[in-house]
Amino acid sequence: MAGTGRASARRIGLALAGCVLTATVAAGHAVLQRAEPRVESTQKRSPDEVQLYFTERLEPAYSSVRVLNDRGVQIDRRDSRVDRTNPALLRATLPPLPAGTYTVRWRVLSIDADVTEGTFTFRIE
């Protein structure tokens, strides 16, 4: 009977290890890795576009970025898209912007079905 107890303990141990690994994989989601313009940066000139790099591939149909002026009006060219060659890159083009503070607001769905969102600002002198 001692062998049966060890086999049961081994099965329980393997099941617990499997649960831990599954939870670790399921916890992965798209996290903003870097941005251009940089988060909370001051720019000398207006950037041509906003580029957001994430840690996971994004689902294009459910991922977007908007750039707002200090009155909350969307000022990007409304062409937010996931890059075709780099599915972890979200981008939107910008018209020439005057000096001021701008808010970047993003919401993405990673391919593992986790939604993340966030905001940051940048300033143009």
Report the C-alpha gap between 21 and 40 in whole angstroms. Answer: 36
Confidence of residue 8 (pLDDT cuts 50, 70, 90): low
Cis peptide before 60 (omega within 30 of 0): no
Residues 25-73 have pLDDT tens digits of: 445 689 999 999 999 999 999 999 999 999 999 999 999 999 999 999 9
Confidence of residue 112 (pLDDT cuts 50, 70, 90): confident
Report the C-alpha gap between 6 and 82 in whole angstroms. Answer: 51
Q: What is the DSSP string of 71-90?
A: TS-B-S-S--EE-SS-TTEE
* Residue 23: predicted pLDDT: 36
pLDDT: which is higher, 108 or 16: 108
In this prediction the pTM is 0.77
As given in the structure block, the two tokens for residue 104 are 């970047």
The type of residue at 71 is R
Confidence of residue 7 (pLDDT cuts 50, 70, 90): low
